[in-house]
Chains A and B, each alone.
Chain A
């Protein structure tokens, strides 16, 4: 028997390069469009060029006559399939029936009207052009406030007021707070529509095997299991005969946390033609047909005392829903309301949401999903209050933060913040930028007529989404760990990572817990026939929930390993150190591989113990986690042109314990880039008639390398008590913290001109006009 007892170096907390990268840097990963199946056909979707129209006639004959075209389907063929599901439930919610192909009417530009199937994607594209659709155009409405005005065109004729739902949430005594207030500040603040723009567009391959009555469906999705369940329902097929596989996914950011018409449509086509079929979205389709994010118009009122103490908030939130309700569309603004108090201890809030239909692409979860809107609102309002009271924006925040001894802190909206030290990241960031000297520099700059701004945001977020009662489809996560007879370890996670790096972080956790070499661990995800049911990847939940499920599965296995180890050593009890079972009394030990082999050979089983070393754990979290942080942004505004340049970006984030600092830094950088995109450049712009004007990457400005500032990122660490790993989540932090810090900075720069608010994006022209008005 071996006597090695040296414990390997622990990997959790270490900067370890990712295990998913070798296939990605060599171009050998398999994304959806890389799949090629024998006999595979290609589909091209014919889409509405109008935002609202009656379909008078569709002539598919010219398309069908093109050699290579095998079928063309229209709404009549798929009437019984679906509808595209909305999983979010709210009292009185109006859910329009969302067919997978338009029936007699189209509701948005890009609405699928017909689908052409051909042997080759070039022929499919040619044939799609030959489908003749006769439309009678109808009036459309593309702006949520216009949609709610009397006399607006009805998006859905049965609901002429365009209201999908109203929702009220109240905490504390807001009326009294506003009565007691010495000062009330009000502001209309928008969070513009954004287009998530994962670099890989969506795509589906469906392969129906009639003889087996089974379907394999590959989809670029964040939620393979949920997709399977919902899609089986749409198709009326048994869930256990539908296998969903998630190939490599080229980014998602919430836009693939959904069930889309094309997924059911490809499944339908494959069943009808008896061949595999592929559809890959063009970028134009991606802009029109994959969900958008944000789309808020918020009317805020903040009540406070003259010393800066915030008493309460009133909010009227208008959410632009688009024409249909996708999977979580109406739930997103309710998340905003939950997060509205931010990091502050005021206990009175009254919020009303109106969800408005428009003839636009549905909105849904996009990185942050409701929380960037909330943070932007509260962090702008706190700055507006500070300006009103002539207080320093850092001081007013420090004054109103939840106290360190108040955790778990129950908020005005009923959340229980798990742990926090909210002043720490802010003070760290203030020190990092040398705040006092920055303010002095700003004074000098102003004397020279220069526009320099310093902006702060102190953000909180809801992560690890989430406890099942708070979610439409279950908020737990699952993990299976299999120690194979050879001692190799296979982890099956119910999450569906697509860039977040869990093949690495979960291997780190596993290697540490079992004491094995990380190279002996393989993490598998994204195949419903291999992996036990899981929820998926969104809401910064992978590590906090999926990682915890893994942790508990590993604890079960460790217990079992020790039982086998004891049997092998013929003692009552052993310790597991560095993968080795040791009898502390005699010093004798048995190796991990020997235990693994013995567990499967099963010559001698411990009492009440089954053969094998497999454990599955489904973990239901008792609470969300609540990361927080502070971002400080220094900007210079070109007085002549209105151009903003970001001179410094300092981010101090607290996401609890860190499994892999390299990956966490990457999440922060990417999050900040998307926040900066919203703050400065990105905007989905619709014409009044519902045409998307920013409909291509040549119009919709994503941040490019030369547009990004250097991000100075650091962390404070306040472990979460919600899970044994102490982690909170970091996927959305950068996005949530960023946009208010940027806008606060630019408003600060322009404040000598009397500017107190600017809506995003901060385009040069918008700022130039404010400068002109300020001069007048």
Chain B
């Protein structure tokens, strides 16, 4: 039986009826047409589906949409309202923190939480903070540079 849900998605109130088994990632991608978050595994290992739930990074492939009822969800599409890039987006671009780009939306949102919690993380803290996000292209080094650069810019 479908259930009614309402949530705040990238700052806008939305309401829908969904099957309880509908994973949040599928709701975002198929129903809400927000294809920024990606699916890279089914074991909640890769982090490509990461979104912010009430400001904290979560893997949207390991949540049912009904669990997000009444909550705030932010996807990568909501990070740059009015086209103004978040310092992290800008830094990933400047520092070549991405190659194929598949992991990037999740990586940026996890980094967003990291910088919210800890505005000037060390390299070790960045590495630890991103341990839930796999990247197969970059070897992570430019991602770390990007997070450092964004931290520096935010702090400035």
Contacts and interface: CB of A to CB of B under 8 A. Distances in A.
Interface of A: 17-18, 20-31, 33-34, 36, 121-122, 197-201, 248-253, 280, 282-284, 498-501, 662-663, 665-666, 668-674, 696-698, 702-706, 708, 710-711, 734
A36 B130 CA distance: 31
Contacts of B45: 696-698
A196 to B, nearest CB: 8
Contacts of B21: 122
Contacts of A674: 136
Contacts of A198: 100, 102, 136
B41 A283 contact: yes
Interface of B: 19, 21-22, 26, 29-30, 33-43, 45-46, 48, 75-77, 79-80, 85, 89, 92-94, 96, 98-105, 108, 123-124, 126-128, 130-131, 133-144
Contact of A122 (B19, B127, B138): B19
Contact of A26 (B76, B99, B141): B76
Nearest to A677: B136
Contacts of A670: 99, 136-139
15 contacts: A22-B93, A24-B101, A24-B104, A25-B85, A26-B80, A26-B85, A34-B35, A250-B40, A251-B99, A252-B100, A283-B46, A670-B137, A673-B140, A706-B127, A710-B141
- In the complex, which of the residues B36, B102, B133 has the most CB atoms of chain A within 10 Å of its own CB atom? B102
Contacts of B94: 17
Contacts of B138: 666, 669-670, 673
A665 B79 CA distance: 28
A27 B142 contact: no
Contacts of A30: 35
Given A283-B41, A673-B139, A200 B102 contact: yes
B108 A25 contact: yes
Contacts of B39: 33, 280
A361 B92 CA distance: 36
Given A499-B101, A670-B137, A670-B138, A27 B131 contact: no
B98 A665 contact: no
A199 B103 contact: yes
A17 B91 CA distance: 10
A73 B77 CA distance: 39
Closest 6 CB pairs of A and B: A27-B36, A250-B102, A24-B101, A669-B139, A499-B100, A673-B139
Nearest to B129: A705
Contacts, number: 181
Given A663-B96, A697-B46, A26 B136 contact: no
Given A25-B98, A696-B41, A18 B141 contact: no
B76 A666 contact: no
Given A198-B100, A734-B139, 11 more contacts: A24-B104, A25-B89, A29-B101, A34-B35, A250-B38, A283-B43, A499-B137, A673-B139, A696-B43, A705-B143, A708-B141
Given A499-B100, A697-B41, A199 B85 contact: no
B44 to A, nearest CB: 9
A250 B48 CA distance: 11
Contacts of B22: 122
Contacts of B35: 27, 30-31, 33-34
A663 B100 CA distance: 12
A111 B79 CA distance: 42
A509 B6 CA distance: 51
B100 A249 contact: yes
Nearest to A662: B96
Contacts of A673: 136, 138-140
Contacts of A201: 40
Contacts of A280: 39
Contact of A283 (B42, B80, B143): B42
Contacts of B124: 706
Contact of B38 (A25, A31, A665, A671): A31
Given A27-B35, A669-B142, A21 B29 contact: no
Contacts of B142: 665-666, 669
Given A200-B102, A283-B43, A253 B136 contact: yes
B139 A672 contact: yes
Contacts of B133: 705
B134 A17 contact: no
A696 B37 CA distance: 21
A705 B136 contact: no
- In the complex, which of the residues B96, B105, B126, B134 has the most CB atoms of chain A within 10 Å of its own CB atom? B96
Contact of A705 (B36, B93, B102, B126): B126
Contacts of A668: 139
B37 A27 contact: yes
B141 A669 contact: yes
Nearest to B76: A27
- In the complex, which of the residues B35, B41, B101, B143 has the most CB atoms of chain A within 10 Å of its own CB atom? B101
- In the complex, which of the residues A20, A25, A197, A711 has the most CB atoms of chain B within 10 Å of its own CB atom? A25
A110 to B, nearest CB: 15
A33 B25 CA distance: 12
Contact of A697 (B33, B34, B43, B85): B43
A702 B43 contact: no
B8 to A, nearest CB: 18
Contacts of B38: 31, 33, 199-200, 250
B48 A666 contact: no
A18 B139 contact: no
Nearest to B109: A27
Nearest to B92: A25
B127 A499 contact: no
Nearest to B93: A21
Nearest to B22: A122
Contacts of B93: 17-18, 21-22, 25
- In the complex, which of the residues A670, A673, A674 has the most CB atoms of chain B within 10 Å of its own CB atom? A670
B130 A250 contact: no
Contact of A199 (B33, B37, B89, B135): B135
Contact of A27 (B77, B135, B137, B139): B77
A705 B130 contact: yes
A713 to B, nearest CB: 8
A143 to B, nearest CB: 27
Nearest to B107: A705
Contacts of A25: 76, 85, 89, 92-93, 98, 101, 104-105, 108
Contact of B99 (A17, A501, A704): A501
B103 to A, nearest CB: 5
Contacts of B144: 705
Nearest to A27: B36
B99 A500 contact: yes
